[in-house]
């Protein structure tokens, strides 16, 4: 079976977040299930540079201006690159200019991506389309409403909070039938809804964890789309993300001071002083060292970490913060480091090598998100033997086994959970973690369980393969 994946980013070509990791890792995992994935991505400068003079396989110069699809194989990925300079050959990141301001033509840019997906799927003989997040949301609409032949599609929600809403003046420029401008279509509270279109026109909808699939069908978690999602019934499912275990491998990770594995965890201890040194923390091997790696944002609970910091420090802990995001939170993080030298450290920015050292050197990793569709930080933390302290929400609840009395007795705990959105509860979870850390046999067992977790794509790839088989069979 041939599947066309459609996304706005794909690791290692272009990445701003976890979406890229998923899109980059899933093709190899699905190959083991007999599915050949080709990934369609926009021709940003970095992508065009990577593919070079790749051959043109389809000319798309009609609806959205000059555009060509180029075929290439890079980093083991089969690619189709949408070479449309007027839309994608510009500085900045995929969504915004160097000043951080979103491009004012993002609606047209990503409509062109959805249009290209439908054209490629029908012209190049794909059996199904897998569209990721709002940027690929119109692929399903073009497939259903304009395509030359029927190609079924799956739409995956990576984060329902990002919905891709644009002014109604965009609709006439899309080339879709006028009948699509209605509540049972693209119209969403007077706007053109890209994510809403993805949900409406796809044959099946997935999101990135079972718990998140449940949460988004409630008024509290559905962000205005819960009614539509409930209406899709059994066509909505949650499939956990994994990580590429070859890419995230502590036994050969050059970012670490010392490599280690589940079979030989002892060298891991050498990473802690290296991490303490990088963050200006006191070289104290007995101090429980917590790390936060990710966006400094309200969703990620960074404010809760700062509010819980006094309790963490009072209990003898240290904190390393690595990330970038909200300017006010960045300032608070830097202020916390300045106020507590040797005990709290902050590095503002995205540094993957340093992130790897955080996972491999910290005693525990904080993931206190208010909501979290799946989360990758806790998967990386498990892989690198840093038991995660997570909010009980979305994929965090599905991937970390809380070290409660029952789990400790059964010997299956992999981390600590707490109810989301409350700094006092996070502080309590941190104190509970420190208590476990100081019980060396108990902590060693939790850490070994974390290192032994299967965080790969194997099981999830099998579920995606079954889903593609189902929609293709139903369509045939």
**DSSP-based helix, strand, coil % in the chain, nearest 5:** 40, 20, 40
Question: In this structure, what token pair is assigned to residue 442?
Answer: 């108990």
Q: Is the peptide bond before 53 cis (omega within 30 degrees of 0)?
A: no
Question: In this structure, what token pair is assigned to residue 108?
Answer: 């047209």
Strand, coil or helix: 451: helix
Spatial contact of 292 and 302, defined as CB atoms under 8 Å apart: yes
36: β partners: 2
Q: E-strand spans in 225-272? A: 236-238
Nearest to 286 by CA among 438, 428, 388, 436: 438
128-132 and 153-157 beta bridge pairing = parallel
4: β partners: 38, 129
CA 47: distance to chain centroid?
Answer: 20
Nearest to 82 by CA among 73, 71, 91: 71
Nearest to 407 by CA among 455, 458, 450: 450
From the CB of residue 339, how many other CB atoms can be counted at a distance below 10 Å? 11
Instruction: Tell me if 15 is assigned to a ligand binding site.
Output: yes
Q: E-strand spans in 215-329? A: 236-238, 289-293, 318-323
Burial classification of residue 265, based on how many CB atoms lie within 10 Å of its CB (0-12 exposed, 13-18 middle, 19 or more buried) = middle
Q: Binding site for ADP-alpha-D-glucose: what residues are annotated?
A: 15
Q: Binding site: what residues are annotated?
A: 15
């Amino acid at each position: 079976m041939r599947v066309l994946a459609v996304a706005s980013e794909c690791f290692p070509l272009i990445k701003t977040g976890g979406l890229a990791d998923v899109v980059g890792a899933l093709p190899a995992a699905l190959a083991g299930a007999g599915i050949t994935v080709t990934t369609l991505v926009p021709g940003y400068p970095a992508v065009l540079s990577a593919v070079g003079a790749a051959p043109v396989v389809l000319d798309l110069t009609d609806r959205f201006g000059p555009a060509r699809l180029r075929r290439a194989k890079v980093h083991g990925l089969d690619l189709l690159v949408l070479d449309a300079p007027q839309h994608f050959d510009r500085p900045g990141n995929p969504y915004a200019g160097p000043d951080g301001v979103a491009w004012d033509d993002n609606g047209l840019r990503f409509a062109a991506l959805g249009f290209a997906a439908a054209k490629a799927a029908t012209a190049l003989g794909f059996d199904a389309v897998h569209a990721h997040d709002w940027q690929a949301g119109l692929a399903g609409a073009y497939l259903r409403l304009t395509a030359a032949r029927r190609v079924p599609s799956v739409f995956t929600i990576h984060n329902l909070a990002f919905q891709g809403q644009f002014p109604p003046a965009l609709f006439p420029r899309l080339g879709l039938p006028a009948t699509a401008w209605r509540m049972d279509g693209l119209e969403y509270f007077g706007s053109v809804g890209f994510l809403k279109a993805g949900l409406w026109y796809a044959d099946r909808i997935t999101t990135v964890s079972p718990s998140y699939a449940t949460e988004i069908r409630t008024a509290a978690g559905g962000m205005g789309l819960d009614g539509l999602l409930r209406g899709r019934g059994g066509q909505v499912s949650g499939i956990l993300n994994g990580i590429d275990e070859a890419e995230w491998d502590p036994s050969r990770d050059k970012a670490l001071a010392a490599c280690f594995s589940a079979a030989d965890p002892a060298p891991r201890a050498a990473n802690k002083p290296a991490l303490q040194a990088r963050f200006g923390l006191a070289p104290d091997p007995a101090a429980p060292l917590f790390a936060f790696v990710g966006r400094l944002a309200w969703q990620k609970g960074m404010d809760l970490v700062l509010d819980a910091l006094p309790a963490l420090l009072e209990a003898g802990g240290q904190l390393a913060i690595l990330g970038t995001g909200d300017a006010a939170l960045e300032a608070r993080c830097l202020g916390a480091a300045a106020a507590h030298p040797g005990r709290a450290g902050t590095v503002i920015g995205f540094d993957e090598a340093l992130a790897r050292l955080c996972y491999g050197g910290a005693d525990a990793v904080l993931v206190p998100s208010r909501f979290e569709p799946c989360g990758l930080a806790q998967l990386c933390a498990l892989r690198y033997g840093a038991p995660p302290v997570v909010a009980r929400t979305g994929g965090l609840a599905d991937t970390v086994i809380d070290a409660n009395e029952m789990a400790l007795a059964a010997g299956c705990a992999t981390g600590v959970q707490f109810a989301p959105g409350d700094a006092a509860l996070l502080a309590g979870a941190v104190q509970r973690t420190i208590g476990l850390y100081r019980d060396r046999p108990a902590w060693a067992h939790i850490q070994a369980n974390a290192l032994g977790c299967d965080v790969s794509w194997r099981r999830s790839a099998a579920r995606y393969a079954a889903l593609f088989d189902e929609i293709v069979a139903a369509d045939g």
